[in-house]
Amino acid sequence: MILNRSRRGSATTMPPGPSGDRALARPLVSLRGVTKCFVTPAGPFYALRGIDLEIGQGGFVAVVGKSGSGKSTLINMIAGIDRPTEGEVWVQDTPVHKLSENRLARWRGRTVGVVFQFFQLLPTLTVVENVMLPMDFCHVHSPAERRTRAMALLSEVEMAEHADKLPVAISGGEQQRVAIARALANDPPLVLADEPTGNLDSKTAQAVFALFARLVAAGKTILMATHDLDLAARAQRRLILVDGELVGGSSLATVSMPGPPAAAETAS
Ligand SMILES: Nc1ncnc2c1ncn2[C@@H]1O[C@H](COP(=O)(O)OP(=O)(O)OP(=O)(O)O)[C@@H](O)[C@H]1O
Ligand SMILES: [Mg+2]
């Protein structure tokens, strides 16, 4: 695997979490009272209501919940794609909720790999160019190395043979795999994946899950929204969203997951 061990957060300015710092699994992600209210023609709509959450480094967390329960909104808050109406979002020692748009883009490019629910590949770039884009944006690696790394990532998701095609020329499931490769381009410590297996057949979904498990074993932290309860049950921890509220979560031991034991994660 070409992925490096994840960068570890500094131990300086992260405020203590609701459940206190833990010696072995300091929170990588910490949400305090996060509320998101959308203003709609029908009036205010609360997509997230007072979310308190900590995710330790090296955690593999699945978020489940019905359509409309707030899974994508939660991911958008952590990635800084959207801002909370109230509350705080910390990733390592970065107050994501406070960053300016410019700083957000740079921070996100290096720290967070996002697999969007609807892929969001750039249609005018080839597959390999899409995977190189985060490296180009953040000036990571030399231009020649970027292509080599992008091809290696495409091999990881079995898409190398499609490298020179445009996204329109590959299937939805193939686009999803390219989006996963792109999310890993800058070797981010945190991967946020929104329905990463939603368009995949079960064999390919298993392969993506296995890739995520290897990433977690290599020190990455993964938060994955999914409708697939079998996959969710195999993550280390499962969060359940109902109408924008976390109604409970569990730390699940797993027979098939390499990586740190479920006890390293603590429900908030
Ligand atoms: N920009 C917006 N304006 C108004 N309402 C929104 C906006 N974005 C999301 N919502 C609403 O917030 C709620 C949560 O949406 P979200 O996309 O987070 O759900 P989800 O759990 O990801 O659903 P799915 O499983 O269908 O992807 C939904 O009722 C949605 O309609
Ligand atoms: Mg969604």
Helix H or strand E encompassing 155: helix 143-156
Question: Nearest-CA neighbor of 268 among 17, 11, 25?
Answer: 17
- 11 belongs to a structural domain: no
76 lines ligand 1 (CB under 6 A): no
**Domain-located, residue 2:** no
Q: Assess if residue 1 is contained within a domain.
A: no
Is the CB of 68 inside a 6 Å radius of any atom of ligand 1?
yes
- Distance from residue 225's CA to the centre of ligand 2 (Å): 8
The verdict on residue 216 lying in a domain is yes
Domain membership of residue 266 (yes or no) is no
pTM value is: 0.85
pLDDT (tens, 9 = 90+) of the chain, 268 residues, equals: 454 444 433 332 333 333 433 444 569 999 999 999 999 999 999 999 999 999 999 999 999 999 999 999 999 999 999 999 999 999 999 999 999 999 999 999 999 999 998 889 999 999 999 999 999 999 888 988 999 999 999 999 999 999 999 999 999 989 999 999 999 999 999 999 999 998 888 888 888 899 899 999 999 999 999 999 999 999 999 999 999 999 976 544 333 333 333 333 333 4
CB of 202 closer than 8 Å to CB of 170: no
Q: Looking at the domain assignment, is residue 257 inside a domain?
A: no
Q: How far is the CA of 72 from the centre of ligand 1 (A)?
A: 7
DSSP secondary structure code for residue 236 in this structure: S
Q: Which domain holds residue 135?
A: 23-250
Q: Which ligand is nearest to the CA of 73?
A: 1
Q: Cβ(48) to ligand 1 under 6 A? A: no
| CA-to-CA dists, residue 42 to 45, 50, 67, 68, angstroms | 8, 22, 20, 16
Q: Per the structure, how many domains does the chain have?
A: 1
Q: What is the CATH number of the domain that holds 185?
A: 3.40.50.300
